[in-house]
Amino acid sequence: MNGTALGQENLATALTTLSEEEELFRASVREFAEGEVRPRVEQMEHASKLDGELIKQCFELGLMAIESPEEYGGAGSTIFNAILAIEELARVDASVSVFVDVHNTLVTNAFMKWGSEDLKKKYLTQMATGKVGAYALSEASSGSDAFALKTKAADKGDYWELNGQKLWITNGNEAEIFIVFATIDAEKGYKGITAFIVEKSFEGFSVGKKEDKLGIRASSTTELIFDNCKVPKENVLGEVGKGYKVSIETLNEGRIGIAAQMLGIAQGAYEAALAYTQEREQFGQSINNFQAVQFQLAEMAVEIEAARLLTYNAARLKDAGKSFLKEAAIAKLYTSRVAEKVSSKAIELYGGYGYVKDYPVEKFWRDSKIGAIYEGTSNMQLQTIAKLIMSGK
């Protein structure tokens, strides 16, 4: 169902009304999240590591190849279904959600758009059946200034040689296939950037330290080290010197995935708070009998519904082949704010119990904070939105 093709008066209904296929897909992911992910959340949080069996199940259920074409072992589905999966997983655990998100909306998507037929056949097939993907752009000196890269690639005739470091790489420990951005000529600025496909087994490549993070703790966020790393000539993704296009266009879709993750966090925190206000008693009655509490829950519900509309709208536009850059930026900006606000309010509604790790809402709040940082900070989203508004688009 394509909400973008309907009249304005039906737009909100179209965005949130799912087709039968989408409903069934959402239900299957929710069943997996409740039955398999939720029992493992606490253990994964303490271990700061994803459960290996859970990773295997993500592949077996097709969650790692949602948009990937059928000829490469994927489901050949839509980004809308991908964000439904990301949302439902984040409702239970944001770490599993971002694991699936990065693999689908960044890595698989980049291969689909920029990979040659040989690269698609080789790598998309592997990523549909068991090999995890990671996206390596960030460095110590290039966060929001994404193209101030210091990782260098030198043409050695028969191969490319990469030297440098990457930081804050999601799925760093689990991944076996990496899309790595490096510059072939620093004098050319962003026009010297090229995207390379690096396998974990390549000579000169290693995974460095894992970050000890505030939230999404089970998700591995690591350093990558390239020490005369040899990359085959055919492992350039897209064109030499056009890596900036690969990066920008892939991240635009990735922001819809992060919006879905933040939406799921907000929904999970809200549901936990709603249930607890029915159980918690003060002054001889459940606190949800008090109007002040009812109003807070209502405000949370309003914010979540607005976030859902923005996220679904961006995904529907992408699937319809329409421009979605501004909508993706708005969705990521707004949902990251909603996730933080709703999860913070949930802590307050829990009272003292909200502040301790025996109850779930403090984790939702910690997991929400990254939404304003990765795949483009909130300030960068505001800059994108402002530029598009000023240009009349």
Q: Is 178 within 8 Å of 127 (Cβ atoms)?
A: no
Please list the active-site residues.
Answer: 375
Q: Is 262 within 8 Å of 338 (Cβ atoms)?
A: yes
- Using a CB cutoff of 8 Å and minimum separation of 24, what contacts does 47-52 make? 47/218, 48/210, 48/212, 48/217, 48/218, 49/173, 49/218, 49/220, 50/95, 50/96, 50/99, 50/174, 50/218, 50/219, 50/220
Q: Is 275 within 8 Å of 297 (Cβ atoms)?
A: no
**What's phi and psi for 203, nearest 5 deg?**
-60, 135
184-219 b/e (C-beta count within 10 Å ≥ 16 → b): beeeeebebbbbbbbbbebeebebeeebebebbbbb
Q: What are the residue ranges of helices labelled H in 171-290?
A: 243-279
